[in-house]
Structure formats: C-alpha cells, structure tokens
A and B are shown apart, each in its own frame.
Chain A
C-alpha cells in the first residue's frame, strides 16, 4: 500500500520483566522470566491460579502527584508511565501545532478494573450508599488515551480499541494507518492492562485456560496461559517528521492486517489467522520469504499454539522452516489487551538488535509445533522484517509488520 513511511522513534514499557526498555530487553536476551507466585493473601477467597506475571518495584507515588493519582486507575498509570519513556526517548517537544497533528490510540480489554472492583465491593459488601465520584472517569477504557492526550496537549484524534487480546495491535495498526494516510503526523500508541483483581482472576480461573505452573508455548506439555499486567507505548511518526527533528529511527512499521473469524467466540480459526498474516504482508508489499521472525500470539494453550503454527506453515510454505517464531508471553505473561503493545516494543528491539527473543520454559518437542521456536535462549539472527501476531477471543485477528529501517 502506498503512503507515507512510518517509523518508530520512542519506546516505553512497564511489565513483569522490568520498568524500562533496557531492563526488559536485558531480561529478554537473558531469557529471565517475570512469572512468579500470586500473593493470595490479598484476596478474600481462595483463587486456583498459582502464578502470574506481576509488575515489580513500582510505587505510584514515586511517579505521580497525589492529586493526579486520585484520578488514575492503575491501567491508566501504566499508559502514562510508558508514554513518558517513549516521548523522552523520541525527544519530541509537542507544540500546539504538532499536538493537533498527533493521535493517541490505545488498547485495553477491560479498562479500570481495580476501580471497578473497589466500587462494587464498596456497594455490595460494605453497603456504602454511594460510589466514589471519580469511578466513571477512572473505569472508562479510554482513560489511558485521554490521560496521555491531556499530559502532552495532544488535540488530534484519541481513542481506545477494545478487542480482547488483540486490542493493542488493533490500536497500533490504526495509529499506523492514520499516520501513513496523512490524517496525523505523529501518534502515541500502545496499551495496558491490569487484570490481577479478585473478580477478574476468578473469571479467568473459571474458563480453565490458565496453566497451573507456567506458560510453555509450543511445548508438548503446555497447560495454558499465565496472566500478566503491564503496559507499553511507542511514538510513531512519518519518516519526514523524524528526519526533520533529527530523531533516532528505531524501526519502521510497514504493514497491518486484520480479519475476524466469524465462527466461534473462543475457539480460534486457522483461516482467520492466516488471512490476517496475508493481509499484513500485502499491506507491507512484502513476500512471505521477506519475514525472518514472528512474535507469535503463542498463549501456551493447546488450541492456540498448534493452530498458529499450522497457519504459519500454510502462509509461509517452505519458508516457514527458515523463519523463527517465538512467544514472549512465556516471559512477560499474557497482558491481554496490553499484550501486543509489549510485544510490539519487543519486536521493534528484536529488529533493531538482530536478536531473536526466546520462548522460555520450553520442555518437550511437539510434532504439531515443529518450527524454530527459539527455545529457552535468545540468539543473534539478521531480522529484515518481523510480524507481531495477535488472535483474540471473539475471533478478532490483528498482525503488524515491523521492518529494519533503511534510508532508501
């Protein structure tokens, strides 16, 4: 698809792997997983989920004024915290004119779940006569995007996409298209999720897809996903804008593809996944043989992982044996609506550094997942172009293409 070239100039992240890009990348390269025991003592009833990927060493008051925190659910804090890092790295100064040409597009599956949980507990359990007056503006899934737009005076389009586990890839793809098509010159995009509330954990427990120990994508003995929290944001802009500012270009975004399965609310369709990848390749004007790495959806569930590998084999043919596929959910957990934002940052770093992020916790070869899944250790490999896959409940698929930046 013709249009303006779009590049990444800033990254920000907070996750179980660390609260800065450098720390997260270090742990990825060393294959150090952020998954650990859930602190059951803070919940009112037993939860049959043993391990999660939780953000560590994060004290909200160290990063936000008390008066601001009163209006910031944890998921919106993560958006802002990651956006600050990304804006700082991009070194961008938003004038009112540039702010009007800048979009903020975020993804989240549920929004301010901690605030929601607290409001319901106040009302149902404590029998309080009223909810906190800020409950609504803190719960709303667009609170993250709105807070970022307010923090930097960004008056262009701002909105939030909620497509379960593909939310942030849909957000990123939308932002990419807005910039490529000339609607905006710059976008802050990504997403966040904070799923470790009592009600939400119990709901995931009930649907029986959470692993009792850890997330082992593509391993024959995989038993499901591990829930994680976190957020990530990136600054993307036209090549022209980045060059005019003298910004360091980290990578280029070259394609976006999406489809819906229109089949089952939770069971993924291989055809839907295949066509999302094909659409992304077409949008980027690339051939399957141009792709060196796929950051897989790779949830670690029986159904997803074998479906995803079969879809990759169909789309890439013989080249499927040449490319590498890994699931970094084995390291940072499944951050649901925020997960593809984390994976976008990690895929950008992989393309920049020519390093394949590993699939951690791998134990047993699965004949149905017989591609190079980069088991248990990162390794160097030249990466010209990479896909980041997301396939959500509801049958909603979104794939973004990241490319190594070249001047010509």
Chain B
C-alpha cells in the first residue's frame, strides 16, 4: 500500500510540478487541480508501472488519491 501511495505521489508531483510530500492520501483529484484527462493519464501510468488493468467503469469512479491507491492495491495483491 505504501509503495503504491509513494508511486501515485511521485507521478502527481511530477505532472503538477509540486513536492511529492505535498500530495496527501486525503487529497481529492480536484484538490490537486487534476481534471478527468489528468486522472486517466495518472491511472494509465500506474497500470503500466504495476502491470495491471483497471476497467474503464472503475477508473471513472476514482476521484481521490486514496481511491486510486486502494484500487491498485486490490489488483497488485491479486497478481
């Protein structure tokens, strides 16, 4: 879980040009000034990194850092 959170943070920090430590597990994508395209880009990078696939319908429901981490954890643990 922590490893996934760190990766999510790192990607968002890089995209948004902020310090990774400023991205919190409690942040929503909106808090981070991320729109729907940004979230598709983030999830696609995470899918590549962790070699998993999140179905479109599930992806559309992910609106916070916590939901992204949980969604990935589920799949990474399974694999």
B35 contacts which chain A residues (CB < 8 A)? 264, 267
B59 at the interface (CB under 8 A from A): yes
B40 contacts which chain A residues (CB < 8 A)? 206-208
Q: Which of A192-245 contact B (CB under 8 A)?
A: 206-210, 212, 223-224
Q: Are B57 and A223 in contact (CB under 8 A)?
A: yes
Q: Are A206 and B44 in contact (CB under 8 A)?
A: yes
Other than the given A206-B44, A266-B36, 15 more pairs (CB < 8 A) read: A48-B53, A206-B40, A207-B40, A208-B40, A208-B56, A208-B59, A209-B56, A210-B56, A212-B55, A212-B56, A212-B57, A223-B57, A224-B56, A264-B35, A265-B37
Chain B CB within 10 Å, residue with most, of A208, A212, A266: A208
Chain A CB within 10 Å, residue with most, of B40, B56, B60: B56
- A303→B35 CA distance, assembly (Å): 13
CB distance from A263 to the nearest CB of B (A): 11
A302 at the interface (CB under 8 A from B): yes
Q: Are A223 and B56 in contact (CB under 8 A)?
A: yes
Q: Which residue of chain B lies nearest to A210 when distances are taken between CB atoms in the complex?
A: B56
Q: Which residue of chain B lies nearest to A264 when distances are taken between CB atoms in the complex?
A: B35
Contact surface of A with B, Cβ cutoff 8 Å:
48, 206-210, 212, 223-224, 264-267, 302-303
Q: Are B56 and A267 in contact (CB under 8 A)?
A: no
> Which one of A210, A224, A266 lies within 8 Å of B37 (CB-CB)?
A266
A210 contacts which chain B residues (CB < 8 A)? 56
- A264→B34 CA distance, assembly (Å): 12
Q: Which residue of chain A lies nearest to B59 when distances are taken between CB atoms in the complex?
A: A208
How many B residues are at the interface, by size bracket? 10 to 19
- A267→B35 CA distance, assembly (Å): 9
Contact with A along B16-56 (1 / 0, CB 8 A): 00000000000000000001110010001000000001011
| Majority-rule SS of B interface residues | helix
- A267→B36 CA distance, assembly (Å): 8
- A48→B60 CA distance, assembly (Å): 16
A212 contacts which chain B residues (CB < 8 A)? 55-57
CB distance from B2 to the nearest CB of A (A): 27
Q: List 16 A-B contacts (CB under 8 A).
A: A206-B44, A207-B40, A208-B56, A208-B60, A209-B56, A210-B56, A212-B55, A212-B57, A223-B56, A223-B57, A266-B37, A267-B35, A267-B36, A267-B37, A302-B60, A303-B36
CB distance from A262 to the nearest CB of B (A): 16
- A209→B60 CA distance, assembly (Å): 10
- A126→B42 CA distance, assembly (Å): 33
B56 contacts which chain A residues (CB < 8 A)? 208-210, 212, 223-224
- A265→B37 CA distance, assembly (Å): 9
- A148→B34 CA distance, assembly (Å): 45
CB distance from A379 to the nearest CB of B (A): 32
A208 contacts which chain B residues (CB < 8 A)? 40, 56, 59-60
CB distance from B1 to the nearest CB of A (A): 24
Ranked nearest first, the 9 interchain pairs of A and B with the lowest CB-CB distance are A208-B56, A208-B40, A266-B37, A208-B59, A223-B57, A206-B44, A267-B36, A207-B40, A224-B56
CB distance from A362 to the nearest CB of B (A): 18
CB distance from A224 to the nearest CB of B (A): 7
- A265→B41 CA distance, assembly (Å): 14
B59 contacts which chain A residues (CB < 8 A)? 208
- A264→B55 CA distance, assembly (Å): 24
- A264→B38 CA distance, assembly (Å): 12
Q: Which residue of chain B lies nearest to A206 when distances are taken between CB atoms in the complex?
A: B44
- A190→B35 CA distance, assembly (Å): 34
B44 contacts which chain A residues (CB < 8 A)? 206
Q: Which of B53-69 contact A (CB under 8 A)?
A: 53, 55-57, 59-60
- A232→B40 CA distance, assembly (Å): 33
